[in-house]
Amino acid sequence: MTYQLRVEPNALKSLNRIPEYNRRRIIASLRGIKKDPFDGKALEGELKGIRSWRVGEYRILYRILKQELLVLVIKIGNRQGIY
């Protein structure tokens, strides 16, 4: 079952600031998230309910809305500043 993907405006702005090579890798990863969003790491504590997908030094943070079959991308950025 493939989920729909929606990227929040702030995440899209962050994506556009990332160098092109890494941006392409992230976009390819977004396709993977659509196919199997549960493959990402489930976060804990204050970030419970959010998942993280690793793309080199970057992270994609997203929420899975099962009822709507939707993956909502919340943040995209360097791993050191994203959490």
Kindly tell me if the per-residue pLDDT of 1 is higher than 80: no
**How far apart (Å, rounded) are the C-alpha atoms in residues 20 and 80?**
19
Task: Report how many domains make up the chain.
Answer: 1
CATH code for the domain in which residue 41 is found:
3.30.2310.20
Contacts (Cβ under 8 Å, ≥6 apart) of 11: 73, 74, 75, 76
Which pLDDT value is given to residue 82?
A: 86
Alpha helices in 1-83 (DSSP H): 9-17, 20-35, 79-82
pTM (predicted TM-score): 0.93
Boundaries of domain holding 43: 4-82
> Using one digit for the tens of pLDDT, what is the confidence trace for 40-58?
999 999 999 999 999 999 9
